[in-house]
Chain A
């Protein structure tokens, strides 16, 4: 059975615990990177990371982009969305098509 993890600051991730996900509260990018390294190959299928921390561990996450598992998904934290998640979608479009042809008109 696969596991689902959530990495984020304490206040943001508290609720995820109540709905049954495994929560790894941490407050710094360094700590987040360390936790991510530990759990990335540990039977986790999905790891949600709050955007503020996601920004600090992009190098680590990129290693897993082309792997099948885990899926590392940025989610907004309690301070609201930083637009990193949508930027990721945009980036994959750019990578696939060579240019952003889907979301260019939005801004």
Chain B
């Protein structure tokens, strides 16, 4: 692991120690976020899968009725029958905050004068299968919208989860070791300087001591000679 390229000073040491504390705290929070996101996401994905299978099966039945209807009726009559829908769908989008991800929530309302009578045609010229198809489709419409919301939420959570996972790993395996290593390097360097200083002082002390002993000896010798 590469250590940071910094000057080994006390000031830098303090700064780095502070950063390490922040990194550790951030890592812990990110990890918690990741775990919670994962829990939410897996639940959502399971739900999503179940819903999708349901919707796909229901749609298959609707298409079946439709193809029977279009086989019985001519294309023109079919197109004409469905040309002006009686029912409209009003959709409002609200936001929901899931672990700091703003996921859309769909609220919808159907606008038909009579929910039981959504068929935009008279029954004389159309086949009964068409009624069944439209009724089926109207019945799965809430599920379809639910599916859209769930799938969008899953996709957004997945993106957030990927980001969080990367951040956790970057902190855990790059940033924190790097900081630790740099701090160790600075501490060792400072200790080394300290020891160097100590030895130098001792050496100087020795030299001064020796000098003064020499001086003393000379003085004694001079005194004896006299």
Contact = CB atoms under 8 A, between A and B. Distances in A.
A28 B141 CA distance: 26
Contacts of A39: none
Given A65-B155, A102-B42, A78 B67 contact: yes
B82 A89 contact: no
A60 interface: no
B182 interface: no
Contact of B148 (A20, A71, A102): A71
Contacts of B82: 14-15, 17-18
A30 interface: no
B161 A96 contact: yes
Interface of A: 1-4, 11-12, 14-21, 45-46, 48, 65-66, 68-69, 71, 73, 75-78, 80-81, 85-86, 88-89, 92-93, 95-98, 102-103
B41 A18 contact: no
Given A14-B78, A81-B60, A19 B159 contact: no
Contacts of B67: 11, 78
Nearest to A68: B104
A75 B144 contact: yes
Given A75-B55, A78-B66, A19 B89 contact: yes
Interface residues of A: mostly helix, strand, loop or mixed?
mixed
B152 interface: yes
Contact of A12 (B37, B55, B63, B78): B63
B91 A1 contact: yes
Interface string B88-103: 1111110100000011
B92 A1 contact: yes
A65 B85 CA distance: 31
B120 interface: yes
A92 B154 contact: yes
Contacts of A69: 93, 104
Contact of A45 (B46, B93, B161): B93
22 contacts: A1-B92, A2-B91, A2-B92, A11-B70, A17-B82, A18-B87, A19-B141, A20-B89, A20-B110, A66-B155, A69-B93, A71-B152, A75-B59, A76-B59, A78-B63, A78-B67, A80-B63, A89-B151, A92-B154, A95-B158, A96-B45, A102-B45
Contacts of A73: 144, 147-148, 151-152
A2 B165 CA distance: 33
B75 to A, nearest CB: 9
B119 interface: yes
B157 interface: yes
Contacts of A14: 66, 70, 78-79, 82
A63 B77 CA distance: 39
A93 B159 CA distance: 10
A50 B134 CA distance: 18
